[in-house]
Amino acid sequence: MDTTPAQTEILTTIFIGIFLMLLLALAFVLFFYFSQRKFQVQQILAQEREIKHREQLLLASIKTQEEERQRLARELHDEVGSKLNVINLGLHQLKKQGAAPEAQQSFKDLFGLVRKTTETTRRIAHDLLPPTLEKFGLPMALEELCDQYRQSSPVMLEYEFSESGSQLDALVALNFFRVAQELLSNAYKYSQATAIKITLHLKPNALELTYQDNGIGFDPNARGQQKGMGLKNIESRMRTIRADYRLDSAPGRGTAFTAQKTWS
Amino acid sequence: MYQNLALLFGKVYLVILVVNVILVLLLYRRLPAKVRSVHFFLLGSLATDLASRWLFYQGENNLFLLHVYTLWELLAWGWFFNQVFEHSSKAQRQFFSGIGGLGILLVLNSIFLEPVMGFNSNAKTLVQVLLVGFAIRYFFLAFGKIDLTKAAAQSVTFINFAVLLYYSGTLFIFMFSRLLKEYGVASVQQHGLWVINALLLVVFHLLIFISLWIPLRRRPKY
């Protein structure tokens, strides 16, 4: 069956039209798809940069906080503490030099005040940076920390330490101590736990801290205020020393935390 | 040869359409609201396709079904795009009034301009241009606002890909179908066009199948 030129022309027009329309549609679809993907990747990168920036800020603030704590603890111990000792000695000197009998009561009051101030200064300095941590190491500092909590609350707090020999880095020890401090502080404030167990295991090439309580637990993935500064601090501290950590908790199921720092 | 190819693609397309209809009906509740609103179109397509095949084998003229199908296409896709565009209630009323008005125009066209026993090129072209416009509008509105890693967004985007590709690809076929008859082009010489239409229908329904499958294969993350 022969076609007339007009028929051929119209068929050709239709085929060209179909081809062009399909080409345009395909180009549009591909342009959309790749532009959208590029846009999304850029958005993700911007978000990652923002998260990294926030993390750096948090790390810097933790570092500054730690340095400031150390400075304050030393100032209190070296400056205020020694000056209080001098005041105490001076008072004793004055008393020996023969003060009037009516001044005896004032001396007694002043000695009491100096003693209390010295104790308070020591306590503040100790809270800021436990000397036990510097002098006797992490295991003893944790033992001391647990003792303090045991004295102030009826919660059954168990602490276990095992060692298979290794030298512990001071920064790692300090951060593990702060993490344990934070965990205990949170437990006593919010968890309503009746039993807590902490274990510290010093291996030849690793340090492992575990914490477990039988409290009310919480949802670690919940957004907003539930994931407070305490948890963020723990995460940041672990990241600072590049330690692995895992937090397991759920409402009504208590809280478990494990941290491990390995070295070669 | 072209006729056989058109028939083969027509069968493949029918199988995919049946699968899509079964999927959308069986798993209706598990599909996102926007995606499942495509079920009107799929049901209408299957009903029209089966009826037209039956009439074809009976040796009857089935072109009046094209008029019905065009109207159904307009209403069903109108419903889908109304869900996708998330209009305000005022804009929604305007949108439906527009679709309704256009529907009346299609009916008037079938009564007065293009008889129901012939091709309805005017109506079909109008509806296809409108649907291509809707799909393009979706892409402009969605750019930078949707997350293509999410199943619902991916599915709706795939349906829009399908609409854009099929309706722009077949625009010229339906636009000139009446003219071809008027110019006396033999139906044998038109087979090539219907092969393209059938092939694009296969692609169209495959894309719709993918869009129905995406939300079903992805389980929600907890």
Look at residue A65 in the predicted model and tell me its pLDDT.
85
Question: Mean of the per-residue pLDDT values for chain A?
Answer: 87
> A21, B183: Cβ pair inside 8 Å?
no
Read off the pLDDT of residues B95-148 as tens digits, 9 standing for 90 and up. 889 999 999 999 999 999 988 888 888 899 999 999 999 999 999 988 888 888
Asked if A18 lies within 8 A of B161 by C-beta distance, the reply is: no
Please report, to the nearest 10 degrees, the dihedral formed by the alpha carbons of residues B207, B93, B125, B166 taken in order. -10
Q: Which residues contact A80 (CB under 8 A, 6 or more apart)?
A: A121
CA-to-CA distance for A175 and A182, rounded, in angstroms? 10
Alpha-carbon gap, residue B213 to B36, rounded angstroms: 11
Selected residue of A13, A28, A31, A43 to mutate for chain B interface (largest B Cβ count, 10 A) = A28
Closest chain A C-alpha to B26 CA, distance in angstroms: 30
Q: Which is nearest to B206 in space by CA: B159, B164, B138?
A: B159
pLDDT at A224: 54
Give the per-residue pLDDT at B220.
45
Whether B158 contacts B211, CB under 8 Å: yes
Count other Cβ atoms within 10 Å, centred on residue A62: 18
Place of tokens 């229908």: B201
Closest chain B C-alpha to A36 CA, distance in angstroms = 6
Contact A260, A208 (CB under 8 A): yes
Strand, helix or coil at A189? helix
Residues A193, A189: Cα–Cα separation, whole Å: 10
The answer to which of A16-25, A226-235, B11-20, B54-63 has the lowest mean pLDDT is A226-235
Q: Report pLDDT for B204.
A: 95
Residue A4 vs residue B157, higher pLDDT = B157
What is the average pLDDT value for chain B, to the nearest integer?
Answer: 89
Q: Which residues of A touch B3 (CB under 8 A)?
A: none
Smallest CA–CA distance, residue B38 to chain A, in Å, is 20
Q: With an 8 Å Cβ cutoff, are A14 and B193 in contact?
A: yes
Closest partner residue to B143 (CB to CB) among A3, A10, A35 is A35
**Residue A94 pLDDT greater than 80, yes or no:** yes
Q: Say if residue B73's pLDDT is above 90.
A: yes
> What pLDDT band is residue A247 in, cutting at 50, 70 and 90?
very high
Q: Which residue has the higher pLDDT, A102 or A91?
A: A91
pLDDT at position A99: 67
Residue A28 contacts B where some CB pair is shorter than 8 Å: yes
Question: Is residue A11 within 8 angstroms of chain B, CB to CB?
Answer: yes
In this predicted structure, the answer to whether residue B23 has a pLDDT above a threshold of 80 is yes
Closest CA to A181 of A15, A69, A97, A74: A69
**Is A26's Cβ below 8 Å from some Cβ in B?**
yes
B190's tokens: 């038109």
Q: Give the ipTM.
A: 0.82
Nearest to A32 among B132, B143, B196 (CB): B143
Is the model's pLDDT at B221 over the cut of 50? no
In this predicted structure, what is the pLDDT of residue B200?
94
Collapsed DSSP state (helix, strand, coil) of residue B102 = helix
The average pLDDT across A111-137 equals: 87
Q: Distance between CA atoms of A10 and A2, rounded to whole angstroms?
A: 14
